Amino acid sequence: MKKSLLTVACALLCASLFVSCHRGPKSEIEGFTRTESGLHYRFDTQNAEGRQVAKGDLLIGEMLLRLENDTLFSNVGDPGNLLVVSDKSMFDGDLTEGLLLMHEGDKAVFAVDADKMAAQLQPNQMPASYKNGKGMKLYYEINLQSVKSAEEMKAAKKEFEKAMEAAQEEQAKALETYLTDNNITATPNEEGLYVIVSKKGNGPKVEVGRHISVDYTGYLLNGTIFDSSNKELAQQNGLEQHDALEFVVGQANLIKGWDDGLMGLAQGSKAKLIIPANLAYGAKGAGEMIPPYATLVFDVEILSVN
């Protein structure tokens, strides 16, 4: 019984110390506390058992940044990497001081002096709604879901690099298999692009500045179709059906492999483009269907060139 009472007393003492450490001078912002350096803060959820933030940590979660009522940034509903905690403060009462009070699982709001922030930036870096000398505050509403140390980030980076190397090797082998299985003996250009013409058109040729219309189907080396203007193929593969792609050559926001591969083809031509990742979506991939370093294959038909 004595041991139990002692344990409870120690727990109460620790809780008291925790609360007192987070108490400071009264803030003029209702519901907030102010630190000696001038940072205003409010904890809506506290998880004292969670891992505490340290300098150099990567913070992961949700954040809404606003200047008074003017929202400047928000990823609420789409949590992700927020920022790396600086090893030094920009000024007394900056966000860094508040972040170092947080633990994983905490939800808090920090109010930073906008004038102090503006003094660290160029005039055009502050939002148009900012007015100097009006006592405005930048509010950071943070839902901290997890924390990664510099060491953990370094280890994660190494794992990512290994995965990317493996993806590149896998794609190289897949391309070799694809070329062999489809009896493709064509020679790629210097950037690895294959243009295999199955039908030569006799109309005007694709050139920069021309408005063209192209019927197309795009797929991965394993045959997975990810996009098509062919209604039947799109439906069979559960894809949204698109019309033939119309654009001005050299002005559309297309992958480089398309512009390069179509150049010089005449209206009426049919061709297969085998586009390496460096001319497509590279290490990032695209959406859920195109993985990192994917080689893309497009069957195209030039419907019109104007």
Say if residue 23's pLDDT is above 70: no
State residue 22's pLDDT score.
47
**Could you confirm whether 227 is annotated as catalytic?**
yes
Q: Active-site residue among 130, 139, 219, 298?
A: 298
State residue 265's pLDDT score.
96
Tell me the pLDDT tens digit for each residue of 151-209: 998 998 899 889 889 999 999 999 999 999 999 999 999 999 999 999 999 999 999 99
pLDDT top residue among 305 and 22: 305
Q: Looking at the chain, which runs of residues are DSSP E strands?
A: 33-34, 40-45, 58-67, 70-74, 80-84, 107-113, 137-148, 194-199, 211-220, 225-228, 245-248, 270-275, 296-305
End-to-end CA distance of the chain: 92
Q: Active-site residue among 106, 227, 275, 299?
A: 227
The identity of residue 35, as a single letter, is T
**Could you confirm whether 110 is annotated as catalytic?**
no
Residues 6+ positions from 295 with CB-CB distance below 8 Å = 171, 174, 175, 178, 220, 221, 274, 275, 276, 277, 280
**Could you confirm whether 255 is annotated as catalytic?**
yes
Phi, psi (degrees; rounded to nearest 5) at 47 = -125, 80
Q: Active-site residue among 139, 216, 219, 293?
A: 216
Residue with tokens 């799109």: 234
State residue 304's pLDDT score.
96
**Could you confirm whether 226 is annotated as catalytic?**
yes
CATH 3.90.1150.10 fits 21-148, yes or no: no
State residue 24's pLDDT score.
58
Q: Active-site residue among 142, 212, 225, 255?
A: 255
Q: How confident is the model at residue 50 (pLDDT cuts 50, 70, 90)?
A: very high
Least confident of 18-22, 152-156, 187-191, 256-260: 18-22
Tell me the pLDDT tens digit for each residue of 81-117: 999 999 899 999 999 999 999 999 999 999 999 999 9
Q: Active-site residue among 274, 281, 290, 299?
A: 281
State residue 149's pLDDT score.
92
pTM over 0.75: no
Domain spans, the chain: 21-148, 176-305
State residue 184's pLDDT score.
94
pLDDT top residue among 22 and 19: 22
State residue 1's pLDDT score.
40
**Count of C-beta atoms within a 10 Å radius of residue 237:** 16
Say if residue 18's pLDDT is above 60: no
Tell me the pLDDT tens digit for each residue of 120-139: 998 789 999 999 999 999 99
Q: Active-site residue among 226, 247, 259, 260?
A: 226
| Cα angle value 49/51/57 (rounded, 5°) | 165
Q: What is the mean pLDDT of the chain?
A: 89
What CATH number has the domain spanning 176-305? Answer: 3.10.50.40
State residue 252's pLDDT score.
74
